[in-house]
């Protein structure tokens, strides 16, 4: 298990990325030792939620909403002075450059990104739209744009109608590549009156560099959260939601977990995997492992717990495993899709590798209860970024901290097996 061995203490709360890269390389020689050096900390002048993180040209790109710059009020207290940008680029000397929003965009809600063969980054996100009078619901429009050298290009609206019901780390998946080379993600798309206002399963697809959205109506009333994976050449979607016939006493806060597959262009009937409506079951995740596809979810009743099991041809096989004390789970970014990250009920962050018969605890780190760590690739090594509360010198604020997990994930590491 990874131990946190110390904080970086300086006026800027930062290490240069050159030092970060050197420390990462030094760890690889410590076979059998799983203790990272002191963590890297984003300078206290800026914060960006790690929706999409990419290491490029010895600099660290972090895109996500919220992103904000902090300053001081007349009394010397930390305040937000700017939140109208897409993220930050941390340069090798540790200085920070703000990445502007794409032209015409008002926000960058939970961006997902891919790196094209030419090195250009392509980002898919949802742009928040102004609320109509009397409308209490958040509305978004799915968009894409390319980022090259800090400049946005080719911004395009993918979903023409502002109908996205949810587009965050839970209600929309990461980008997954299909065997034909296309990229795709799923999200909860809003229905219309003809569908009885049922949510649709929305699929964002990339075909030959052009993005489009396909929406499908399933025999469910609504989606709360979704994930997607390729099981061979078959698209598999795991989701939490409400059935068409809502049982007595069931509310929007009491979903069940379902699985559906796209076979020869036709969706299979959603198969219930967990939950009967008495309690909330959410945070669905599909994890690719050496043993096959694993479905995972969080059950929230009097206590919260993680559950998971192996999926074969659209159904659960074998026993369902349980880990108590887990509040929320997320997927890791490529190429570490075999790992999930979790926020525990006692306010810790964990990185886990699930197996059909148990799990490995890769890391245990500080984080906020609503923010599981984000695992990303930096120079071929996994790093976990966590959001931590700050009490000194700015009580009530947060900072973004990165930990090198290469010693735990690579051969020679020492994860805890359960």
pLDDT of 33 reads 35
| C-alpha to C-alpha distance for 43 and 370, rounded to whole angstroms | 22
Helix (H, G, I), strand (E, B) or coil at 187: strand
Q: How far apart are CA 282 and CA 22, in angstroms?
A: 40
Which tokens go with 216?
A: 């499908």
Nearest-angstrom CA–CA distance, 47 and 400? 7
Distance CA(178)–CA(97), nearest Å, equals: 35
pLDDT of residue 24: 41
Q: Are 83 and 68 in contact (CB under 8 A)?
A: yes
- The answer to whether 366 and 398 are in contact (CB under 8 A) is no
Please give the pLDDT value at position 22.
44
| CA proximity to 309, closest of 301, 326, 297 | 297
Q: List the pLDDT tens digit at each of the 418 positions of the chain.
A: 332 222 222 233 344 454 444 444 333 322 333 455 568 888 878 889 899 999 988 899 999 988 999 888 888 777 888 989 999 999 988 889 999 999 989 889 889 999 988 888 999 999 888 777 776 667 788 999 999 888 999 888 887 666 666 778 778 899 999 888 889 999 888 766 566 556 788 889 997 778 988 888 777 777 778 899 998 889 999 988 876 666 666 565 567 889 999 988 888 888 888 876 667 788 899 999 888 999 999 988 788 999 999 999 888 998 999 999 999 999 888 888 889 999 999 989 999 999 999 999 888 888 877 889 999 988 888 899 988 877 666 666 778 899 888 776 654 444 545 4
d(CA 124, CA 108): 9
User: Dihedral angle at the C-alpha atoms of 417, 37, 412, 326, nearest 10 degrees?
Assistant: 20
Give the closest residue to 184 by CA, choosing from 147, 233, 135, 218. Answer: 233
User: What is the DSSP-derived secondary structure letter of residue 193?
Assistant: G
- In the prediction, which pLDDT does 97 show? 93
For residue 186, the Cα-to-chain-centroid distance in whole angstroms is: 13
The Cα 300–Cα 118 span in angstroms is 44
Output the pLDDT for position 237.
93
pLDDT at residue 95, rounded to an integer: 87
| Distance linking the first and last C-alpha atoms of the chain | 12
What beta strand segments (E) does 276-356 contain? 280-289, 292-300, 304-312, 315-324, 326-331, 339-344, 348-355
Neighbours of 33 (CB within 10 A): 12
Secondary structure of residue 30 in the 3-state scheme: coil
3-state secondary structure of 407: helix
* CB contact set of 208 (below 8 Å; sequence gap of 6+): none
- The answer to whether 383 and 375 have CB atoms below 8 angstroms apart is yes
* Alpha carbon distance 273, 261 (integer Å): 14
Tokens of 308: 């998971």
DSSP for 135-186, written as a single string? --S--EEEEEEEEETTEEEEEEESSSSS-EEE-STTTB---EE-TTS-EEEE
- Whose tokens are 């559906």? That residue is 260
What is the total residue count of the chain? 418
Beta bridge partners of 300: 280, 304
Q: Is 412 helix (H, G, I), strand (E, B) or coil?
A: coil
Q: What is the largest CA-CA distance in the chain?
A: 64
Q: What is the torsional sign of CA 144, 370, 400, 34?
A: negative
Q: Give residues with Cβ within 8 angstroms of 209, minimum separation 6.
A: none
Alpha-carbon radius of gyration of the chain: 21
């Amino acid at each position: 298990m990874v131990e946190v061995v110390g904080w970086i203490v300086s006026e800027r709360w930062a290490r240069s990325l050159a030092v970060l890269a050197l420390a990462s390389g030094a760890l690889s020689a410590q076979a059998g030792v799983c203790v990272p050096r002191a963590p890297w900390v984003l300078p206290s002048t800026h914060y960006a939620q790690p929706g999409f993180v990419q290491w490029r040209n010895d600099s660290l790109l972090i895109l996500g909403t919220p992103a904000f710059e902090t300053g001081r009020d007349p009394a010397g207290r930390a305040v937000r002075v700017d939140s109208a940008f897409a993220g930050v680029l941390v340069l090798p000397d540790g200085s920070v450059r703000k990445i502007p929003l794409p032209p015409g965009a008002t926000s960058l809600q939970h961006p997902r990104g891919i790196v094209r063969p030419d090195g250009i980054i392509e980002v898919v996100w949802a742009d928040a739209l102004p609320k109509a009078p009397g409308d209490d619901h958040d509305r978004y429009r799915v968009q894409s744009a390319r980022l090259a050298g800090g400049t946005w290009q080719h911004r395009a609206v993918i979903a023409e109608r502002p109908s996205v019901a949810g587009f965050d780390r839970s209600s929309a998946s990461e980008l997954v590549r299909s065997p034909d080379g296309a990229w795709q993600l799923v999200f909860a798309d809003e229905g219309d009156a003809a569908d009885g206002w049922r949510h649709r399963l929305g699929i964002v697809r990339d075909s030959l560099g052009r993005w489009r959205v396909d929406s499908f109506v399933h025999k469910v009333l609504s989606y709360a959260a979704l994930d997607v994976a390729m099981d061979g050449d078959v698209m598999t979607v795991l989701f939490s939601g409400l059935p068409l016939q809502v049982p007595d006493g069931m509310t929007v806060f009491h979903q069940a977990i379902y699985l559906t597959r796209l076979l020869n262009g036709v969706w299979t009937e959603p198969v219930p995997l967990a939950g009967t409506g008495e309690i909330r079951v959410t945070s669905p995740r599909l994890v690719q492992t050496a043993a096959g596809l694993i479905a995972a979810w969080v059950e929230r009743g009097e206590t919260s717990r993680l559950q998971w099991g192996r999926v074969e041809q659209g159904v659960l096989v074998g026993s369902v495993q349980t880990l108590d004390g887990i509040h929320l789970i997320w997927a890791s970014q490529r190429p570490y899709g075999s790992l999930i990250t979790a926020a525990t009920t006692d306010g810790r962050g964990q990185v886990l590798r699930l197996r059909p018969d148990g799990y490995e605890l890769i890391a245990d780190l500080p984080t906020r209860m609503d923010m599981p760590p984000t695992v990303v690739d930096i120079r071929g090594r996994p790093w976990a970024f966590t959001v931590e509360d700050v009490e000194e010198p700015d009580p009530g604020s947060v900072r973004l901290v990165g930990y090198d997990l290469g010693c735990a994930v690579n051969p020679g590491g020492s994860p805890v097996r359960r």
